[in-house]
Amino acid sequence: MNRRLLIKNTLGLGFGFLPVGNAISESNRYGSPAPGPVGPRRPLHVYNNWASYDELSDNIPLTESLALKELNELIRLKKSGVKVDYYMMDAFWFDKAGGFRTWRKERWPNGPDQWLQTCIENKITPGMWFPVNDRIPNGDDFFLDLIPEWKDSATTTPKALCLFRGGYLKHLFETLQIWFDKGVKMFKFDFARFFAASEETQRLYLQSEIEAMNKMAFFDALKQFREKNPEVMFTGYNGFGGEMANTYHPFRKNVDLKWLEVFDTLYCGDPRFSDVPTINVWRSQDIYSDHMVMEYAMNGLPINRIDNCGFMIGVAGTCYKRATSAWMGMLILELARGGWMNIYHGNLELLNEKDAGWFARTQSLYHELQEVGLVSTFGGTPGKRQAYGFMAKGKKGTVCTVVNPTQGFTDVKMPVDNFTKSTQLYADGGFRPVLKGNSIRLGPEQMAVVGFDEYADQKYQLGTDRSINIPIDIEPVACKFADAGRNVITTTIQPPKGKDIRILVQQFGADDFPKRVSGGHPPNGTTMDKFISIVVTQEGKPVPLQIEYDKMIWSGLSWAAGEIKSNAFDNSRPLEIRCLSTDADKLTLKAEIYSVSYQ
């Protein structure tokens, strides 16, 4: 086929730029239709070792010993009942000069054979990460060499390779076949650079034509590989559409559904903090992934083919060194969102045997529900601070997972009718949610799980996460902030007697949208409290503020939040509150203050 005909056919297949759609109405909710000819045949459970190491937003290297250690931990969890189908080897396993056919010798002195063999012996299928056409610059010491087979695919952007001209694409898929024949049945594709072309090609074609030809070349290669190897699983990450940077833009069409003809699942963004301020910083991260799932579902993706990528425990910068903080709710939501590509990232050694038992029990409940394939969303939009949830209908009844992203008590009606009984299966600690039939009252930032009919039975109980403490009382504190200089606002309040004080502040740019700022990542980054600060004083003396957002956050943050305990100040005297941003641009700061009480 000549190139002009290829361009014409490609543009006709939906690989041009998509028009921006209108924001969805609040009443539009999304569900999971039955899987098509491409896509997982059943819910899958995949361990990904990213976050146990991190060479992009930290300096923890991937080594053979680390990968095998996590494999041993995975086998331990599997023996405890945790479902495991695949072990995905993420980025930087490859040697820079090996064209993806050799592993980094200094870190893998024995190569991958022990990892591959041990996976297969334990009925865990290996998977491998590949960039689509990015040469992966990682600092100054790692940049994929142009091997002879790739040189005629070089482009004006040294970072990327052309997919429709030269030998790179052919060599890449021959390489995939080598690994497939060694037992690797899942491939994760990341960092697609569809704009890549040589100077000569750029003189001949429009940029839109170049992008279309790169996309079609890759699409065809995936399709041909699938036809030859029907067992293969392809999952798509960065470069295949979606708007992942924030949670304040209205939902709009930005994912090309043509990719679902060759990818089993598409992911909807690495875990990051939403533009919804929360005292429990990890709840803001939950809200981000919930929001992204809803946006991708609005784009027409079946929920079971959205990889929400929401579960990361670990010690690396990619997951903000959260370790196992608030991990129970994070796992529940990973499963409740309904995707059939359930991914678990990070340091598995952080989970003890008791954790493993709870993990297996939670996974079993939601796996059973996912198999039926009737998962839908309800309520409002997470990024708009509107209460929402995920509803899974099973053969034995229904389970609803509900989140309140607001700073108040909220009653949420779950869309379940004709049930015989309901009960709370799980909740964050502190305030005890009030359940009446299909309506539940949640405290600020609280999550809960409700079972209906047989799922209301005691055997499905998941307990309470006591590491989270939701207030039993919260009230807005009347105050008026005044400008006190560039990017500084202040107020004075008379604190209520015997109450803690909760303060949230968010910064907005000239476009009235929240503006994120980042201080980089570990080990040399700057924590977010150095950029957006809350300072409380009483009669000129500092009052201690408890915060959770003081982290190095590679993805940025647009807000700050903190609490003052009632025993840290004299409630008979005023408190002076100062909120400030060090951003170079002139911003608008907006703050809220609440009085709160805990059990």
Domain identity same for 499 and 456:
no
Asked whether the beta carbons of 322 and 313 are under 8 A apart, the reply is yes
pTM: 0.94
Q: In whole angstroms, what separates CA 410 from the centre of its chain?
A: 25
What count of other Cβ atoms lies within 10 Å of the Cβ of residue 507?
Answer: 24
> Does residue 530 sit within a domain?
yes
d(CA 129, CA 92): 9
Query: What string of pLDDT tens digits covers the 599 residues of the chain?
Result: 344 444 444 444 455 433 322 233 333 466 655 446 799 999 999 999 999 999 999 999 999 999 999 999 999 999 999 999 999 999 999 999 999 999 999 999 999 999 999 999 999 999 999 999 999 876 556 789 999 999 999 999 888 999 999 999 999 999 999 999 999 999 999 999 999 999 999 999 999 999 999 999 999 999 999 999 999 999 999 999 999 999 999 999 999 999 999 999 999 999 999 999 999 999 999 999 999 999 999 999 999 999 999 999 999 999 999 999 999 999 999 999 999 999 999 999 999 999 999 999 999 999 999 999 999 999 999 999 999 999 999 999 999 999 999 999 999 999 999 999 999 999 999 999 999 999 999 999 999 999 999 999 999 999 999 999 999 999 999 999 999 999 999 999 999 999 999 999 999 999 999 999 999 999 999 999 999 999 999 999 999 999 999 999 999 999 999 999 999 999 999 999 999 999 999 999 999 999 999 99
HSE, CB side, 13 Å, CA atoms: give it for residue 562. Answer: 19
State both tokens at 157. Answer: 């952007």
CA dihedral 439, 442, 448, 451 (to 10 degrees): -20
CATH number of domain containing 356: 3.20.20.70
Domain identity same for 545 and 430:
no
Domain identity same for 363 and 418:
no
User: If we measure between CA atoms, which residue out of 292, 312, 313, 311 comes closest to residue 303?
Assistant: 292
Domain identity same for 348 and 451:
no
CATH number of domain containing 507: 2.60.120
Domain identity same for 365 and 418:
no
Domain identity same for 418 and 285:
no
Domain identity same for 408 and 339:
no
Domain end (from 451, 467, 483): 467
Give the neighbor-by-neighbor strand order of the sheet with 575-581: 482-483, 488-493, 575-581, 532-538, 541-542
> Does residue 264 sit within a domain?
yes
**Which residue range(s) make up the domain with 394?**
378-467
> Does residue 253 sit within a domain?
yes
Domain identity same for 83 and 188:
yes
Domain identity same for 588 and 503:
yes
> Does residue 440 sit within a domain?
yes
Domain identity same for 55 and 189:
yes
The DSSP bridge partners found for residue 88 are 48, 127
Cβ neighbours of residue 537 closer than 8 Å, sequence gap 6 or more: 543, 575, 576, 578
Domain count, the chain: 3
Domain identity same for 393 and 366:
no
The DSSP bridge partners found for residue 502 are 563, 594
